[in-house]
A = this chain, B = another copy of it.
Amino acid sequence: MKTIQVVKNILDANDRIARENRMLFDEKKIYVFNLMSSPGAGKTTLVERTIEALRDRFRIAVIEGDIQDTFDADRVARHGIPVVQINTGGACHIDGNMIREALPALELDEIDLLICENVGNLVCPAEFRIGENAKIMVLSTPEGSDKPAKYPLMFQESAALILNKMDLLPYVDFDVEKARKDALALNPKLEIFQVSCRTGEGLDGWTRWIGKQVEAYRNA
């Protein structure tokens, strides 16, 4: 039982720091989303596509969370926008404190939209708030349509679900209707976008929606 108490204390401490991050983001009018998925579902490609689509409307910055290395940050940096790399040193998620420690590396007065790409993991990241406006998750078709039923928390916590790699649909066993139905049963408010980050298919729906969220927040 001691272990469980320790875990609860860690989550409580994290929530407090996440709230402090949120206050700072509100002061600076920065919309933040926390992007989560399994490894290799297409988070970084989605970040790149989102930057391309929205960079003329918003000043965008990115925080990249990885266990080690800077591969994803290097990919994003090629788009010429501010990027900070968090290396979690083995940890399987980013948390409020990691975000707090990354913020001094960014010019917060010059950011409208901050994208935080989490470590690839369909379980733990959903438990740790970072001060985000919204959690966004990616599920890719090769992972299978049983994932909402098997990993429910992330689907419950997310505002939007990007069903990625729709171009692979003919080659994999993925039941789109089942995935949509199971995800909506867990979270009836979930926005679902069917896209291929590789071909660009369906991305306009996603970028229109997230653009609207950013504007609504900044005009509130």
Contacts and interface: CB of A to CB of B under 8 A. Distances in A.
Interface of A: 3, 6, 10, 38-40, 66-69, 71, 90, 92, 119-124, 140, 142-144, 146-147, 149-153, 165, 167-168, 171-173, 198
A152 B165 CA distance: 25
Given A68-B152, A71-B149, A120-B150, A40 B143 contact: yes
B123 A38 contact: no
A96 B40 CA distance: 28
**Nearest 8 A-B pairs (CB), nearest first?**
A40-B143, A92-B123, A142-B142, A40-B144, A38-B39, A39-B122, A38-B38, A92-B124
A144 B165 CA distance: 13
Contact of A39 (B147, B152, B198): B147
